[in-house]
Amino acid sequence: MKAVLQRVAEARVEVAGETVGRIGRGLLVLVCAERGDSEAQSVKLLAKILKLRIFSDHAGKMNRSVQDIDGQGACGGLLVVSQFTLAAEVSGGNRPSFTGAAAPDEGRRLYDDFVARARAAHPQVETGRFAADMQVHLVNDGPVTIPLHIAPDA
């Protein structure tokens, strides 16, 4: 699975003008299931996201995770949005190929699995809408943007 994390001051996702997910301070997680992925990648990806120390401590160093944003046990939000275009392959020309992305049914199953695991492990999880035309609005804090990839054999 692939993900792009963006540390945000706030973020929301809209579908047809309706806000379907919104968070304050936390992480916007753009996630993509690839062919060959399974729940094992979902488990590893979520564990990495929840423990990644990319929020500032009192000294301004990146020492806090989304689970302990202020060092006092306060959690930040997760806004999880499916984005199959993270599987884009562009080495063969100028038009991206998305053959590396999981098939739609499998992608939905793995996305739903990731969201369910996130909700079980973290108190504030919002989502986009799978396969919808979404508009994502965010204020990137920093900016801090981090790509993650958990390979099937990792």
Active-site annotation, residues: 83-85
* Other Cβ atoms within 10 Å of 83 Cβ, number: 19
Euclidean distance between CA atoms 16 and 34, whole angstroms: 27
| Collapsed DSSP state (helix, strand, coil) of residue 43 | helix
Closest CA to 27 of 116, 129, 148, 110: 148
Give the pair of three-digit tokens for residue 31.
Answer: 């996630």
- Per the document, the length of the chain is 154
